[in-house]
Amino acid sequence: MRGKIGLEEHFAIEETIEDSNGFLAPEVWPELRARLLDIQDNRLRLMDAHGMEMMLLSLNAPTVQAIHDVKRAHEMAIRANDFLANEVAKRPDRFQGLAALPLQDADLASRELERCIHDLKFKGALVNGFSQANSEDNILYYDLPQYRDFWSVVQKLDVPFYLHPRNPTAAWSQIYGGHPWLMGPTWAFGQETAVHALRLMASGLFDQFPELKIVLGHMGEGLPYSMWRVDHRNGWVKTPPSYPAKRKLGEYFQENFYLTTSGNFRTQTLIDAILEIGADRIMFSTDWPFENVDHAADWFDAASISEADRIKIGRSNAAKLFKLDVAG
């Protein structure tokens, strides 16, 4: 399929590149580093070779979210967003931007999002999980009350918010002790992000702001497979839920969430996600440079789904959700 649009496609700047060192084996770090720092060269050649018309670019992880000093986190977000805007301006037909946000401070994040949407013409935001403010252990999830004004701004701007993974902190990851292979994309990324998403659903956030649009990568971080059980565990017990949300969490999942195929190139999983959330809410992505464009594109182009769904997932859903200026 030609004309595919990818939504979870990362880059780095020199100030953030080392945050990605250690996710893969040391011997491939030079290659990964080069991939992250390149935008206009090899990345474009791969897009051309594998039918990708556009990438929406976002800063590598955890970067801004892991900077404890709030002022410095704000400065880094501005620097990265300005850099990205300059790169997008070179080829706006091939690249668009997703904002990095200093969510250590909700007001600063709101102002930076407004700047990115209004002035830099970005299409939304991608945030690398929870933020740490002032210390390692002051961990902030976005269901907390201080973020309600921020979410009001997101809804008013009518832009998607991509909740991207990061590893739990050392103090919160005892379950992985002695098993480092479970960290990162193998398991910890998905578990951490799924819990964060469930917290958003249960908090009453979507009752207050029903037009919010949250994007999850990696085919939903395992949630499509689990949502029925989330709402129906111990069904013979009629005790009402103890969370503030007014509806079943699966209803918010189906109405306020969108999924991408980033880094999860499995047709059975895609079909499960389609059955759970619908083909109109799933979008193609590669997770470049941590995954290969050819692996994502070759799988998707041959996946046993209808051609109508392939066009939706590969292109038209993203164009509609992110208001992209693309033909067809």
Q: Among all residues, which ones are annotated catalytic?
A: 287
Nearest CA to 138 among 171, 91, 180, 185? 171
Distance CA 218, CA 260 (A): 6
- Residue 162 in tokens: 């991509």
Distance CA 99, CA 116 (A): 6
Distance CA 311, CA 260 (A): 14
Give the 3-state secondary structure of residue 14. Answer: coil
Distance CA 328, CA 311 (A): 10
Q: Which phi and psi (to 5°) does residue 168 adopt?
A: -65, 160
Q: Are 59 and 82 in contact (CB under 8 A)?
A: no
Distance CA 30, CA 20 (A): 11
Distances (CA, A) of 91 to 41, 95, 159, 164: 12, 6, 21, 25
Distances (CA, A) of 171 to 22, 138, 175, 225: 19, 11, 10, 28
Distance CA 74, CA 89 (A): 23
Nearest CA to 168 among 187, 146, 151, 148? 187
